Amino acid sequence: MKDFLLNRNMFTFGITPLIIIVIYFLNPFTFFVSGNELSFIFIIISCFTFEYFITKAKNGDEIFLRPIAGMEAMEEAVGRSTEMGKSVLFVPGISGLDQIDTISGLVILGYVSEMTAAYEADLHVPVAVPIVMETAKETCKEAYLRKGRPDLYNDDMVHYVTDDQFAYAAGVNGIMLRERPAAIFYQGKFYAESLILAETGNTIGAIQIAGTGSSSQIPFFVTACSYTLIGEEFYAASAYLSKKPTMIGSIKGQDYVKVFCMILIAFVVIVSFVNHFNLTDIDVSTIFRINIIE
């Protein structure tokens, strides 16, 4: 028992979150917001699970990551563009940096621009939000520098089009039809313009790889693009592409949190089933109550 408690990992990842959760429930001096317990527990469990697997990966544990076709195809798409002597188009969506999708898209842009630097392919990044333009420029510049090809980078490869949704769609469509890129990446937050862009890309015969967290746009991308990173795959892309153990560890942690969610869903189903036959009278909604303050 003593050894068990003294185990560093056990203390860090087992007891610490428990202590934090207990402190939150005790709520000394009303230091914490009451009513947010469920969100807090879930965030604490998720974070400590991620951290546990990151530590495991750092310590040299091998972590298997299933191959994701869309990510495997990224290099192939850039290679194809190089062979055909055509450019690569990267569309980071129409949202600002306050959206996690845009940030994820820019992270992927970093890897794509590394590939274009290595293959000496032309990269074209039309953006809809000026602040995203500045970040994308910096991301591309650093990627070209990392690959030892700063000479291939030019400021015009990332450029501002407009912040209006359909004007942006028209501008990007125009670029597609005039330049006829061989590979198109849609990585970011998309709205109604997703299908307009993806269908135009389809008509010019480009390899299209999409990734978005906008659940309503995923069906459109699935229909029109060669590959689509659906939901969590999109957020995992940066970890997958970086091949760093610390990043891959968090994906493994994410899978375990998913298992936890499945157990909770099964619990709710069983309780509802039992309630239906009047065997118990448990109100599940009180257990899973969320009271995010306005």
Partner 1 sequence: MKKQFAVILMIFMGFISLSGYFINNPTLRNFVDKDANQWYMIIAGFAAFLGVINLLQLHSKKIIYKKKNWQYSMLTLIGFLLMIFFGFIYNNTDSAIGAHLKNEESIFYWMFNYIYLPLASTMFALLAFFVASASYRAFKIRNFEATLLLISGVLLMLGRVPIGALIPWWAVVIMYVSLVFAIFASKIKDKKIFFISYLIINIFIIALIPFAINSLGIDLYTFLSIPLIQEWIFSVPATAGARAIMIGIALGTIAQSFRIITGRERSILGD
Cα angle: 271, vertex 275, 281; to 5 degrees: 100
- Site membership for partner 1, residue 243 (CB under 8 A): no
Shorter beta-carbon distance to partner 1: residue 5 or 222:
222
Q: How many CB atoms lie within 10 A of CB 228?
A: 25
Stretch binding partner 1 (CB under 8 A), from 39-47, 67-75, 85-93, 282-290: 39-47
Q: How far is the CB of 234 from partner 1 (least distance, A)?
A: 7
Q: What tokens appear for 55 in the block?
A: 């530590």
Stretch binding partner 1 (CB under 8 A), from 3-11, 29-37, 61-69, 80-88: 29-37
Q: What tokens appear for 220 in the block?
A: 């459109």
- Site membership for partner 1, residue 215 (CB under 8 A): yes
Q: How far is the CB of 32 from partner 1 (least distance, A)?
A: 6
* DSSP code string of 86-143: --EEEEEES--TTSHHHHHHHHHHHHHHHHHHHHT--EEEEESSHHHHHHHHHHHHHH
Beta bridge partners of residue 228, listed in sequence order: 210
Q: Is residue 135 within 8 Å of residue 160, measured between CB atoms?
A: no
- Site membership for partner 1, residue 33 (CB under 8 A): yes
Q: How far is the CB of 83 from partner 1 (least distance, A)?
A: 22
Out of 156, 205, 277, 286, the only residue in the binding site for partner 1 (CB under 8 A) is: 156
Out of 199, 204, 268, 271, the only residue in the binding site for partner 1 (CB under 8 A) is: 199
Residue type, 160: Y
The H or E element that residue 189 is part of is: strand 183-189
Give Cβ neighbours of residue 240 (< 8 Å, ≥ 6 apart).
65, 68, 71, 248, 251
Q: Site mask, partner 1, residues 60-99, x = CB under 8 A?
A: ------------------------------------xxx-
The H or E element that residue 24 is part of is: helix 16-26
- Site membership for partner 1, residue 40 (CB under 8 A): yes
Out of 12, 16, 242, 275, the only residue in the binding site for partner 1 (CB under 8 A) is: 242
Q: How many CB atoms lie within 10 A of CB 219?
A: 13
Shorter beta-carbon distance to partner 1: residue 1 or 31:
31
Considering only residues 254-293, where is the footprint of partner 1 by CB under 8 A?
Answer: 254, 257-258, 261, 292-293
